[in-house]
Amino acid sequence: MKNYIPIIWFVLFSQIGCIQTIKQKNIPQTDSIYQYKNSGRDGIGKIYQGREISYVMDAAGANWLERNDRNEEENTTLSINNLPINHKSVVADIGAGSGYYTFRIAQKVPEGKVYAIEIQDDFIKLLKKNKQEREVKNVEIIKGTEQNPNLPANSIDLAILVDVYHELAYPQEMLSALAKALKPSGKILLLEYRAEDPNIAIKELHKMSVKQVNKEMAANGFKLYKREEFLPIQHFLLYEKAK
C-alpha cells in the first residue's frame, strides 16, 4: 500500500493544479505591457493603455473595403491628396487589406515605392491579384506579423494605418518596429473613425479619440505633428518621432 501513496498524492495534486489553472483562466491577467479580461462584444479581451483592442477584420470584408460609395462616405481622395509625400516617397501601407489605398498612393509616388503590409494570407493573395491586374510596378507586398511589419530599417518616409491601429494585437511592439523602419524625418499617419462623435455609425471599439491616440503614441516615443479634421468621419493624425 505504501508504494501507491506517492502516486495517489501525485494524482491529487495534479487535479488540484488543473482546477487552479481552470480558475485562473477566469481571473484578469496582466503582464508588463498589457492587461487581459473577458472579451467584450467586439474586442479580444486585451487592454492597452486603458483601451480594449478590437478584433481584426478578415478578408471576408474585402468587398466592404472596395465598396463603391467609400469615397463619398470617407473622402479617400482628399485623404490621399493630403498625404505628406512627393513623387519619390517610400510609403508603407500597414494592414493594406485589398490595397484600396495602396494602389492609389502608388500613383502619387511614380519614382518611389509603396510597401503593402498584411498578415492575412487571403489578403496577401488578393493584393497579388490586384497588383497583377493593375500592372503596378512600384508596389511591393510583404507579409508581416502581429508584432513586426518586416520592413527594411531606415527606409520609410511615411507609414499609413487606415482604420487599422485599433486592431493591432501588439501596438507597442508594432510601433517600436515602425520607429526602426522610419527614416529620421519619417512620419506615421493614423486615420481613425472619431470616437468623440456618437453619430458616427461605427462600433465603439473600432473608433478612437484623439486623446487616446495621443496617449498611446506618446508612450511609444511619438508626438503629434499635425491634426486635421477635414474628413467626414475620420481623424487625420500625423505623428513624428519625439526628439
Read off the pLDDT of residues 53-109 as tens digits, 9 standing for 90 and up.
999 988 888 888 999 999 999 999 999 999 999 999 999 999 999 999 999 999 999
Read off the pLDDT of residues 115-160 as tens digits, 9 standing for 90 and up.
999 999 999 999 999 999 999 999 999 999 999 999 999 999 999 9
Distance, in Å, from the CA atom of 241 to the CA atom of 215, rounded to the nearest integer, reads 14
Q: Is 111 found in the same domain as 132?
A: yes
Q: Is 81 found in the same domain as 8?
A: no
Q: Is 120 found in the same domain as 232?
A: yes
- Could you tell me if 191 and 220 are in contact, meaning their C-beta atoms sit under 8 angstroms apart? no
Q: Is 30 found in the same domain as 132?
A: no
* pLDDT band at residue 18 under the 50/70/90 scheme: very low
Is the confidence at residue 23, as pLDDT, over 70? no
CA-closest candidate to residue 93, choices 152, 145, 141: 141
Q: Please give the residue that has the higher pLDDT: either 20 or 131.
A: 131
Q: Is 193 found in the same domain as 78?
A: yes
Q: Is 130 found in the same domain as 15?
A: no
Q: Is 11 found in the same domain as 85?
A: no
Q: Is 70 found in the same domain as 96?
A: yes
**In the chain, what percentage of residues exceed pLDDT 90?**
82
Residue span of the structural domain in which 226 resides: 57-241
Q: Please give the residue that has the higher pLDDT: either 31 or 150.
A: 150
Q: Is 116 found in the same domain as 31?
A: no
DSSP helix, strand, coil percent of the chain (3-state; round to 5): 35, 25, 35
Calculate mean pLDDT across residues 226-242: 97
* pLDDT band at residue 3 under the 50/70/90 scheme: very low
What are the Cα distances from residue 162, in Å, to 65, 149, 168, 192? 11, 15, 12, 7
Is the confidence at residue 29, as pLDDT, over 90? no
Calculate mean pLDDT across residues 13-28: 38
Q: Is 200 found in the same domain as 135?
A: yes
pLDDT of residue 231: 98
How many other CB atoms are there within 10 angstroms of residue 59's CB atom? 17
CATH code of the domain containing 205: 3.40.50.150
DSSP 151: P
Q: Is 139 found in the same domain as 41?
A: no
pLDDT of residue 203: 93
Is the confidence at residue 202, as pLDDT, over 50? yes
Q: Is 61 found in the same domain as 44?
A: no
Nine cell digits for residue 63:
468587398
Q: What is the mean pLDDT of the chain?
A: 89
Is the confidence at residue 22, as pLDDT, over 80? no
Q: If 0-12 CB within 10 Å is exposed, 13-18 middle and 19+ buried, where does residue 63 land?
A: exposed
Calculate mean pLDDT across residues 214-218: 98
Q: What's the structural domain count of the chain?
A: 2
pLDDT of residue 85: 98
pLDDT of residue 64: 87
* pLDDT band at residue 242 under the 50/70/90 scheme: very high
